[in-house]
């Protein structure tokens, strides 16, 4: 399992507009091979800024890499300029590989 | 849904020991109400350090808060000193609330 996160630092006065833009966008993820799930996450607030993170779970890093090379990726990011003026600096990308998994189901 | 992450900055020479310690520990999460799943994540490397993150999904922030006040939490963290000397500084906690969810299943 591979998790792709993009971290956005958003001034509090832009938070509502930033959320509205994300919630209203057209996502093309559900057409992609290896896509598991996506969450938009609202994180902690500090110094007048709130941390947001897009959080996408893929079956593997290879599936994520294929997405970044796809037409659907380009289409999904074509309107990223609308969001850019709402957050500070560039979003920070972090990719994570799962090395351990514990689930509530396994305990049942 | 609520995601609790702790970020650890681990010098590369300690990475193997850090992973072994996590994979070998006794977790008490699966006994807790509202626990959904846990992943230990291996992140990017930069400047001789690797980012790791513990990543726990809870049904709600209230379930997470109850866990931090539990005997199981104290037991799980009693041996944290073993890990402390393997990473730089304190782990950084970030709690996230999901504001949007897209899943592959919904597309089917």
Complex prediction ipTM: 0.83
Nearest to A68, CA basis, from A10, A2, A20: A2
- By mean pLDDT, which of A71-80, A90-99, B46-55, B75-84 is the weakest? B75-84
A55 chain-B contacts, CB cut-off 8 A: 3, 96
> Is B38 a domain residue?
yes
> Is B54 a domain residue?
yes
Q: How far is CA A27 from CA A32, B23, B24, in A?
A: 11, 35, 39
B98 chain-A contacts, CB cut-off 8 A: 39-42
> Is B105 a domain residue?
no
> Is B107 a domain residue?
no
Q: Which residue has the higher pLDDT, A46 or B26?
A: A46
> Is B108 a domain residue?
no
> Is B31 a domain residue?
yes
Q: Whats the size of chain B, residue-wise?
A: 108
pLDDT at res. B44: 94
* Domain count for chain B: 1
Contact yes or no for B6/B90 (Cβ under 8 A): no
Cross-chain Cβ contact B41/A99 below 8 Å: yes
> Is A63 a domain residue?
yes
Helix, strand, coil percent values for chain B (each to nearest 5): 35, 45, 20
pLDDT at res. B85: 86
Contact yes or no for A5/B39 (Cβ under 8 A): no
If interface means Cβ-Cβ distance under 8 Å, which residues of chain B face chain A? 1, 3, 19, 22-23, 27, 29-31, 35-44, 51, 53, 55, 94-104, 106-107
Q: How far is CA A13 from CA A49, B40, B88, B104, in A?
A: 9, 34, 34, 33
pLDDT at res. B106: 53
Percent of chain A's residues with pLDDT above 70: 95
Tell me the average pLDDT of chain B.
90
Residue A55 belongs to domain spanning: 2-98
> Is A77 a domain residue?
yes
pLDDT of B78 > 70? The answer is: yes
pLDDT at res. A50: 96
Cross-chain Cβ contact B43/A100 below 8 Å: no
CATH of the domain at A47: 3.30.70.100
pLDDT of A22 > 80? The answer is: yes
φ and ψ of B9, to 5 deg: -100, 115
pLDDT at res. A87: 92
What is the least distance, in Å, from the CA of A56 to any CA of chain B?
9
pLDDT at res. B108: 41
């Amino acid at each position: 399992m591979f998790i792709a996160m993009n971290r956005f630092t958003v001034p509090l006065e832009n938070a509502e507009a930033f959320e509205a833009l994300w919630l209203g966008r057209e996502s093309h993820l559900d057409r992609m091979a290896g896509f598991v799930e996506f969450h938009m996450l609202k994180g902690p607030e500090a110094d007048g800024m709130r941390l947001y993170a897009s959080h996408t779970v893929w079956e593997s890093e290879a599936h994520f890499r294929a997405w970044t090379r796809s037409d659907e990726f380009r289409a999904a990011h074509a309107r990223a300029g609308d969001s850019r003026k709402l957050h500070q600096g560039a979003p920070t990308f972090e990719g994570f590989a799962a090395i351990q998994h514990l689930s509530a189901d396994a305990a049942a």
